A and B are shown apart, each in its own frame.
Chain A
Amino acid sequence: KNQVEQSPQSLIILEGKNCTLQCNYTVSPFSNLRWYKQDTGRGPVSLTIMTFSENTKSNGRYTATLDADTKQSSLHITASQLSDSASYICVVSAGNNRKLIWGLGTSLAVNP
Protein backbone atom coordinates (compact mmCIF):
# COMPACT_ATOMS: atom_id res chain seq x y z
CA LYS A 1 0.00 0.00 0.00
CA ASN A 2 1.32 3.45 -0.91
CA GLN A 3 1.99 5.42 2.24
CA VAL A 4 3.78 8.56 3.36
CA GLU A 5 4.68 8.87 7.03
CA GLN A 6 6.04 12.00 8.66
CA SER A 7 7.76 12.61 11.95
CA PRO A 8 7.58 14.18 14.36
CA GLN A 9 3.85 14.89 14.42
CA SER A 10 4.55 18.25 16.04
CA LEU A 11 7.58 20.25 17.03
CA ILE A 12 8.25 23.41 19.04
CA ILE A 13 11.49 25.31 18.59
CA LEU A 14 12.87 28.70 19.52
CA GLU A 15 13.28 31.42 16.94
CA GLY A 16 16.68 31.28 15.30
CA LYS A 17 17.17 27.55 15.86
CA ASN A 18 17.42 24.93 13.12
CA CYS A 19 15.19 21.90 12.78
CA THR A 20 14.79 18.83 10.59
CA LEU A 21 11.53 17.16 9.62
CA GLN A 22 11.40 13.57 8.40
CA CYS A 23 9.41 11.80 5.71
CA ASN A 24 9.42 8.05 5.00
CA TYR A 25 7.50 6.63 2.12
CA THR A 26 6.49 3.31 0.68
CA VAL A 27 5.36 4.39 -2.76
CA SER A 28 5.98 2.50 -5.94
CA PRO A 29 6.76 3.34 -8.61
CA PHE A 30 8.23 6.58 -7.38
CA SER A 31 7.97 9.67 -9.56
CA ASN A 32 8.86 12.68 -7.39
CA LEU A 33 8.70 13.98 -3.83
CA ARG A 34 7.36 17.35 -2.79
CA TRP A 35 7.38 19.40 0.37
CA TYR A 36 4.57 21.87 1.01
CA LYS A 37 4.12 24.52 3.68
CA GLN A 38 0.58 25.11 4.91
CA ASP A 39 -0.16 28.10 7.10
CA THR A 40 -3.23 27.87 9.34
CA GLY A 41 -6.35 28.65 7.33
CA ARG A 42 -4.50 28.69 4.00
CA GLY A 43 -3.83 26.31 1.16
CA PRO A 44 -0.53 24.42 0.81
CA VAL A 45 2.34 26.24 -0.89
CA SER A 46 5.05 24.34 -2.74
CA LEU A 47 8.55 24.50 -1.22
CA THR A 48 10.52 21.93 -3.23
CA ILE A 49 10.01 19.18 -5.78
CA MET A 50 12.65 16.46 -6.19
CA THR A 51 12.92 13.70 -8.75
CA PHE A 52 14.62 10.35 -8.32
CA SER A 53 18.01 11.67 -9.42
CA GLU A 54 18.06 14.71 -7.11
CA ASN A 55 19.23 14.24 -3.55
CA THR A 56 19.32 17.85 -2.36
CA LYS A 57 17.27 20.90 -3.20
CA SER A 58 17.17 24.28 -1.51
CA ASN A 59 14.65 27.08 -1.41
CA GLY A 60 16.04 29.88 0.72
CA ARG A 61 16.32 28.64 4.31
CA TYR A 62 14.60 25.35 3.39
CA THR A 63 16.74 22.42 2.24
CA ALA A 64 15.20 19.11 1.28
CA THR A 65 17.11 15.87 0.90
CA LEU A 66 16.06 12.66 -0.73
CA ASP A 67 17.48 9.16 -0.34
CA ALA A 68 15.63 7.09 -2.92
CA ASP A 69 17.36 3.89 -1.79
CA THR A 70 16.06 4.08 1.77
CA LYS A 71 12.90 5.94 0.69
CA GLN A 72 13.49 8.78 3.09
CA SER A 73 13.39 12.54 2.78
CA SER A 74 14.08 15.34 5.19
CA LEU A 75 13.31 19.04 5.26
CA HIS A 76 15.86 21.16 7.11
CA ILE A 77 14.91 24.67 8.18
CA THR A 78 17.80 26.98 9.01
CA ALA A 79 17.64 29.97 11.35
CA SER A 80 13.92 29.59 11.96
CA GLN A 81 11.62 32.59 11.97
CA LEU A 82 8.22 33.10 13.56
CA SER A 83 6.69 32.96 10.09
CA ASP A 84 7.93 29.38 9.72
CA SER A 85 5.17 28.31 12.12
CA ALA A 86 3.02 26.09 9.90
CA SER A 87 2.31 22.53 8.90
CA TYR A 88 4.88 20.95 6.58
CA ILE A 89 3.52 18.25 4.34
CA CYS A 90 5.47 15.62 2.42
CA VAL A 91 3.84 14.42 -0.80
CA VAL A 92 5.01 11.61 -3.06
CA SER A 93 3.95 11.28 -6.66
CA ALA A 94 3.37 7.70 -7.70
CA GLY A 95 3.10 5.82 -10.91
CA ASN A 96 2.66 6.83 -14.47
CA ASN A 97 -0.52 8.76 -13.66
CA ARG A 98 1.42 10.77 -11.09
CA LYS A 99 -1.07 10.16 -8.29
CA LEU A 100 -0.18 12.25 -5.24
CA ILE A 101 0.10 10.50 -1.87
CA TRP A 102 -0.12 13.08 0.90
CA GLY A 103 1.43 12.75 4.34
CA LEU A 104 -0.33 14.05 7.45
CA GLY A 105 2.19 16.80 8.00
CA THR A 106 4.42 18.00 10.83
CA SER A 107 3.06 20.93 12.79
CA LEU A 108 5.91 23.33 13.58
CA ALA A 109 5.64 26.12 16.13
CA VAL A 110 8.44 28.67 16.30
CA ASN A 111 8.38 30.57 19.57
CA PRO A 112 10.13 33.87 20.31
Chain B
Amino acid sequence: NAGVTQTPKFRILKIGQSMTLQCTQDMNHNYMYWYRQDPGMGLKLIYYSVGAGITDKGEVPNGYNVSRSTTEDFPLRLELAAPSQTSVYFCASSNDRIRANEKLFFGSGTQLSVL
Protein backbone atom coordinates (compact mmCIF):
# COMPACT_ATOMS: atom_id res chain seq x y z
CA ASN B 1 0.00 0.00 0.00
CA ALA B 2 1.40 3.36 -1.09
CA GLY B 3 0.15 5.62 1.75
CA VAL B 4 0.99 9.26 0.97
CA THR B 5 2.78 9.86 -2.32
CA GLN B 6 4.48 13.13 -3.23
CA THR B 7 5.92 14.23 -6.54
CA PRO B 8 8.38 15.45 -7.58
CA LYS B 9 11.11 14.45 -5.14
CA PHE B 10 13.44 17.27 -6.14
CA ARG B 11 12.93 20.49 -8.06
CA ILE B 12 14.93 23.61 -8.83
CA LEU B 13 12.99 26.75 -9.72
CA LYS B 14 14.04 30.17 -10.86
CA ILE B 15 12.72 33.20 -9.00
CA GLY B 16 9.25 34.06 -10.26
CA GLN B 17 8.47 30.66 -11.73
CA SER B 18 5.45 28.70 -10.61
CA MET B 19 4.93 25.04 -9.90
CA THR B 20 2.58 22.56 -8.28
CA LEU B 21 3.67 19.99 -5.72
CA GLN B 22 1.51 16.93 -6.01
CA CYS B 23 0.21 14.87 -3.09
CA THR B 24 -2.09 11.88 -3.16
CA GLN B 25 -3.13 9.40 -0.48
CA ASP B 26 -4.84 6.04 -0.80
CA MET B 27 -6.01 5.62 2.80
CA ASN B 28 -9.33 7.43 2.33
CA HIS B 29 -8.26 10.00 4.94
CA ASN B 30 -10.38 13.08 5.33
CA TYR B 31 -7.65 15.34 6.68
CA MET B 32 -4.63 16.39 4.65
CA TYR B 33 -1.82 18.81 5.45
CA TRP B 34 1.12 20.58 3.88
CA TYR B 35 4.20 21.30 5.98
CA ARG B 36 7.54 22.85 5.23
CA GLN B 37 10.74 21.91 7.04
CA ASP B 38 13.62 24.37 7.07
CA PRO B 39 17.10 23.62 8.47
CA GLY B 40 17.20 24.34 12.19
CA MET B 41 13.43 24.85 12.38
CA GLY B 42 10.54 22.65 13.37
CA LEU B 43 7.91 21.71 10.82
CA LYS B 44 5.54 24.55 9.97
CA LEU B 45 1.98 24.03 8.77
CA ILE B 46 1.22 25.78 5.47
CA TYR B 47 -2.34 24.69 4.68
CA TYR B 48 -4.68 21.92 5.67
CA SER B 49 -7.94 20.42 4.47
CA VAL B 50 -10.67 18.67 6.43
CA GLY B 51 -12.31 17.16 3.36
CA ALA B 52 -12.93 17.62 -0.34
CA GLY B 53 -13.75 21.22 -1.14
CA ILE B 54 -12.60 22.57 2.24
CA THR B 55 -9.19 24.13 2.87
CA ASP B 56 -7.80 26.44 5.53
CA LYS B 57 -4.62 28.36 6.27
CA GLY B 58 -1.97 27.13 8.64
CA GLU B 59 0.87 29.08 10.23
CA VAL B 60 2.77 30.10 7.06
CA PRO B 61 0.34 30.25 4.09
CA ASN B 62 1.72 33.32 2.30
CA GLY B 63 2.96 32.57 -1.22
CA TYR B 64 1.06 29.29 -1.48
CA ASN B 65 -2.33 28.08 -2.65
CA VAL B 66 -4.09 24.74 -2.32
CA SER B 67 -7.15 22.98 -3.62
CA ARG B 68 -8.94 19.78 -2.62
CA SER B 69 -11.22 18.59 -5.36
CA THR B 70 -11.07 14.93 -4.32
CA THR B 71 -10.46 13.05 -1.08
CA GLU B 72 -7.25 11.60 -2.48
CA ASP B 73 -5.45 14.66 -3.87
CA PHE B 74 -4.17 17.83 -2.21
CA PRO B 75 -1.83 19.79 -4.52
CA LEU B 76 0.21 22.77 -3.29
CA ARG B 77 0.74 25.62 -5.73
CA LEU B 78 3.59 28.14 -5.66
CA GLU B 79 2.68 31.04 -7.94
CA LEU B 80 5.75 33.30 -7.86
CA ALA B 81 8.63 31.35 -6.39
CA ALA B 82 10.93 33.24 -4.04
CA PRO B 83 14.24 32.18 -2.43
CA SER B 84 12.47 32.14 0.96
CA GLN B 85 10.44 29.19 -0.31
CA THR B 86 13.53 27.01 -0.58
CA SER B 87 12.63 24.18 1.78
CA VAL B 88 11.58 20.57 2.08
CA TYR B 89 7.84 20.17 1.72
CA PHE B 90 5.90 17.35 3.32
CA CYS B 91 2.35 16.30 2.69
CA ALA B 92 0.57 14.38 5.43
CA SER B 93 -2.83 12.87 6.07
CA SER B 94 -4.90 11.65 9.00
CA ASN B 95 -8.22 9.91 9.31
CA ASP B 96 -9.65 12.55 11.60
CA ARG B 97 -8.63 15.65 13.53
CA ILE B 98 -5.47 15.38 15.61
CA ARG B 99 -7.19 13.77 18.56
CA ALA B 100 -5.51 11.78 21.31
CA ASN B 101 -4.41 8.83 19.21
CA GLU B 102 -4.78 10.14 15.70
CA LYS B 103 -1.63 9.42 13.69
CA LEU B 104 -0.26 11.60 10.97
CA PHE B 105 1.07 9.78 7.92
CA PHE B 106 3.71 11.63 5.92
CA GLY B 107 4.92 11.45 2.36
CA SER B 108 8.63 11.30 1.52
CA GLY B 109 8.91 15.01 0.83
CA THR B 110 9.78 17.35 -2.02
CA GLN B 111 13.09 19.19 -1.83
CA LEU B 112 12.63 22.55 -3.53
CA SER B 113 15.34 25.08 -4.30
CA VAL B 114 14.51 28.54 -5.63
CA LEU B 115 17.50 30.26 -7.22
A residues with CB within 8 A of B: 4, 31-32, 41-46, 49, 51, 89, 93, 98, 100-105
Contacts and interface: CB of A to CB of B under 8 A. Distances in A.
Nearest to B45: A100
A77 to B, nearest CB: 20
Interface string B36-61: 00001111110000000000000000
Interface stretch (B66-74, B79-87, B99-107): B99-107
Contact of A43 (B44, B90, B97, B102): B90
Contact of A104 (B41, B45, B102): B41
Contacts, number: 48
B100 A51 contact: yes
Interface residues of B, number: 22
B interface: dominant SS? loop
A93 B101 CA distance: 11
Interface of B: 4, 40-45, 90, 92, 97-109
